[in-house]
Amino acid sequence: MVSERFSNRVTEMFRIQHPIFAFSNEPRVVAAVSRSGGLGVLGTGTCSSEELDRRLDWLDTEVPGRYGIDILFPVITEELDVGEIERQIPASHREFVDKIVTQLGIGALSDEGRRLYGEGHLLTNRWAAELASVALAHRICAFATALGPVPGDIFSALRERDIKVIGMTGSPGQARRQLAAGADVIVAQGTEAAGHVSDITTMVLVPQVVDAVSPTPVLAAGGIASGRQMAASLALGAEGVWTGSMWLLSQEHGLDAVLRDRLLAASSRDTVRTGALTGKPVRMLRNKWYDLWESDAAPAPLPAPLQGILVRPALSAALEHHVGDAMGTPAGQVVGMMNSVRPVAEMIESMTAECLTALDVAGRQAAREPGKISR
Confirm if 184 and 319 have CB atoms less than 8 A apart. no
DSSP per-residue letters across 108-132: PPPHHHHHHHTTT--SSHHHHHHHH
Digit-coded pLDDT (tens) for 312-321: 889 888 888 8
How large is the average pLDDT for residues 163-186? Answer: 97
Residue-wise pLDDT for 180-196, tens only, equals 999 999 999 999 999 98
Q: What is the rounded average pLDDT of the residues 4-25?
A: 93
User: Which residue did the predictor score with more confidence, 177 or 87?
Assistant: 177
**Cβ atoms 190, 202 nearer than 8 A:** yes
Query: Which pLDDT does position 120 carry in this prediction?
Result: 52
pLDDT at position 75, please?
59
- In this structure, of 288-292, 299-303, 347-351, 363-367, the range with the lowest mean pLDDT score is 363-367
pLDDT score recorded for residue 147: 82
Does residue 281 have a cis bond before it (omega within 30 degrees)? no
Greater pLDDT, 41 or 364: 41
Task: Compute the average pLDDT of residues 47-66.
Answer: 94
Domains of the chain: 9-80+122-268+330-367 (3.20.20.70), 81-120+287-327 (no CATH)
- Contact status, residue 234 vs residue 218, Cβ threshold 8 Å: no
Q: What is the mean pLDDT of the chain?
A: 90
pLDDT at 336 over 60: yes
Average pLDDT over residues 154-171: 97
pLDDT of residue 80: 60
Per-residue confidence (pLDDT) for residue 2, from 0 to 100 = 45
- The pLDDT confidence band at residue 305, using thresholds 50, 70 and 90, is confident
pLDDT over 70 percentage in the chain: 92
Q: Could you tell me where the beta strands, DSSP code E, fall in the chain? A: 20-24, 39-43, 67-72, 142-146, 164-169, 185-189, 195-196, 218-221, 240-243, 271-274, 282-285
What per-residue confidence (pLDDT) applies to 319?
84
pLDDT tens digits, residue range 117-151?
Answer: 665 555 667 778 889 999 999 999 999 998 888 98
Asked if omega into 149 is within 30° of 0 (cis), the reply is no
pLDDT at site 366: 84
Give 57-87 pLDDT, tens digit per residue.
Answer: 999 999 999 999 999 887 555 556 667 777 8
For 61, half-sphere exposure in the C-beta direction (CA atoms, 13 angstrom radius) is 7
CA separation for the pair 177, 174 (Å, rounded): 5
Specify the higher pLDDT residue, 114 or 170: 170
Q: How confident is residue 324, by pLDDT bands cut at 50, 70 and 90?
A: confident
21 versus 111: the higher-pLDDT residue is: 21
Highest mean predicted confidence (pLDDT) among 63-77, 271-285, 355-369: 271-285
